[in-house]
Amino acid sequence: MKRWIVTALAAAFGAVAMAPNGVARADSVADFYKGKTVTLVIGYGPGGGYDVFGRLIARFIGNHIPGNPNVVVQNMPGAGSLKATNYLYNVAPKDGTVIGMFARDMPQLAILGTNKGVHFDPLKFTWLGSSNDFSDDAYLLMVRGDSPVTTYEQAIKPDSPPIVLAATGQGATGSDIPILLRDAMGLKFKIVAGYPDNGAIFLSIERGEVQGRMVDLSSIRSLKPNWVGPNSPMKFLLQMARDTRHPDFPNVPTARELVKDPKALALIKFAEGSYKIARPFVAPPGLPPDRAKALQDAFEATNKDPALLAEADKLRVAVAPLTAEQARKVVAEDIAGASPDVLDYMRKLHAGN
């Protein structure tokens, strides 16, 4: 009888430990990751602001994932990170060995539904969080100092020529935000899209191929620090994603203070919602819950790691993180939860351009 009980218990534990295909279910997260490589997909090419943050996280997150896997970076530029976003959602393994980051406005693009190239639901990603909530940043309209238009007042004059801006592609903030500013505030732009990444855009400005761009202050600080300060060769017309003017740009007005129409202001605020998840990190949907939780915990710990924070200081980038739940809440409430009028307006704006 005793032998029968022991045999039955062993069989029961074996059934729990082994899946129908023979794979051990009871392996711990640490056992799963030990000796493995985690790929961090970045939706832009090397050298840009997203790449800086992605590689920073990649250097340290392996120390906080149970089993301490090796972490490698894979740049996947294309369509303002839409290529990488679709890959993470539809193609990447859903076992916890692939994580990634994409442009902050990808959730907005999906919710609006105006781009036929979108094949993902932002609320179904396994959110890890965001390394930056934009509280110490600003989204700036920047032009060369020798451009025909170098102030906001000049830009809204009826006879002023359009400002020639570089951008990656449709769906990227570098092209969508100028369209919004044109419609809401009367600024005139010519968008030259198709640049693969930040590095190529900065180079096009230096060469005079274009006059300027929309860009994060943090990206300029990190990649072109001589473009910030009293001797900057650039001029800044306005700043976005801020309630008040950034301390480094006290003479540059915010879009919120310039716009007068309430509907236009609602549009500006909606567009700025995605900046709260300025550097978003996700894993594919459908991960095993224990691995999803391990990655979320690891991401949170990584952004508090003193070694990462010291490296961030050297790179001149600000780390102001959001947890997985906080980031998902931004998508669900600030973006997907916008009023129907604002969403319809944005859809018409995108569809017409």
Domain chopping of the chain, boundaries: 19-134+276-351, 139-274
Structural contact between residues 185 and 260, judged by C-beta atoms closer than 8 angstroms: no
Question: Between the CA atoms of 44, 335, 278 and 244, what dihedral angle is there, to the nearest 10 degrees?
Answer: 140
pTM for the predicted model, two decimal places: 0.79
Query: 19-134+276-351 and 139-274 share one CATH topology?
Result: yes
Per-residue pLDDT tens digits of the chain, which is 353 residues long: 445 444 444 444 444 444 444 333 436 999 999 999 999 999 999 988 899 999 999 999 999 999 999 999 999 999 889 999 999 999 999 999 999 999 999 999 999 998 999 999 999 999 999 999 999 999 999 999 999 999 999 999 999 999 999 998 765 778 888 988 998 899 999 999 989 888 899 999 999 999 999 999 988 998 899 999 999 999 999 999 998 999 999 999 999 999 988 988 988 989 898 999 999 999 999 999 999 999 999 999 999 999 999 999 999 889 999 999 999 999 999 999 999 999 998 888 777 65
SS3 247: coil
Q: Assign domain 139-274 to its CATH superfamily.
A: Periplasmic binding protein-like II (3.40.190.10)
* CATH code of the domain made up of 19-134+276-351: 3.40.190.150
Sign of the dihedral through C-alpha 35, 40, 41, 44: negative
Nearest residue to 145 (alpha-carbon basis) of 225, 238, 229, 234 = 234
List strands edge to edge, sheet with 139-144. Answer: 189-192, 163-166, 212-216, 139-144, 234-240
SS3 175: helix
